[in-house]
Amino acid sequence: MRPFDGRRILLGITGGIASYKSAWLARLLTQAGAEVDVVMTRSAQEFIGAVTLQALTGRPVHTELFDSAQALDHIKLARAADLVLVAPATADFLARAANAHANDLLAACLLATEAPVVLVPAMNDRMWSHAGTRRNVERARELGYHVVDPDDGALAAGEGAGPGRMPEPETIVAYAARTLEPHGGLAGLTVAVTAGPTREPLDPIRYLSNRSSGRMGVEIAAAAWRRGARVRLIAGPMTVALPPGVQVSTVETTEEMAAAVRAALPDADVLVMAAAPADFRPAQVAPSKIKKRSAPKEIELVPTPDILMTTRASRKQGAIMVGFALETDDVLAGGRDKLAAKGLDLIVVNDATEAGAGFGVDTNRVTILSASGGTDELPLMSKRDVAEAILDRVEALRRGS
Enumerate the active-site residues. Answer: 210
ω into residue 244 within 30 of 0, thus cis? Answer: no
Q: How far apart, in whole angstroms, are the C-alpha atoms of residue 50 and residue 68?
A: 18
Q: How far apart, in whole angstroms, are the C-alpha atoms of residue 89 and residue 39?
A: 12
Across 73-150, where does the E strand assignment appear? 83-89, 117-121, 146-147
Burial class (CB in 10 A: 0-12, 13-18, 19+), 157: exposed
Q: How far apart, in whole angstroms, are the C-alpha atoms of residue 138 and residue 144?
A: 10
Q: Own/partner pairs for 331-336, CB < 8 Å, 24+ apart? A: 331/367, 332/367, 332/369, 332/375, 335/367, 335/369, 336/369
- Which has the closest alpha carbon to 215: 351, 361, 328? 361
Contacts of residue 339, Cβ cutoff 8 Å, sequence gap at least 6: 323, 346, 347, 369, 370, 371
Exposure string (b/e) for 37-48, b if CB count within 10 Å is 16 or more? bbbbbebbeebb
Q: How far apart, in whole angstroms, are the C-alpha atoms of residue 64 and residue 39?
A: 9
User: How many CA atoms, within 13 angstroms, populate the side-chain half-sphere of residue 132?
Assistant: 10
Strand pairing category for 301-303 and 280-282? antiparallel
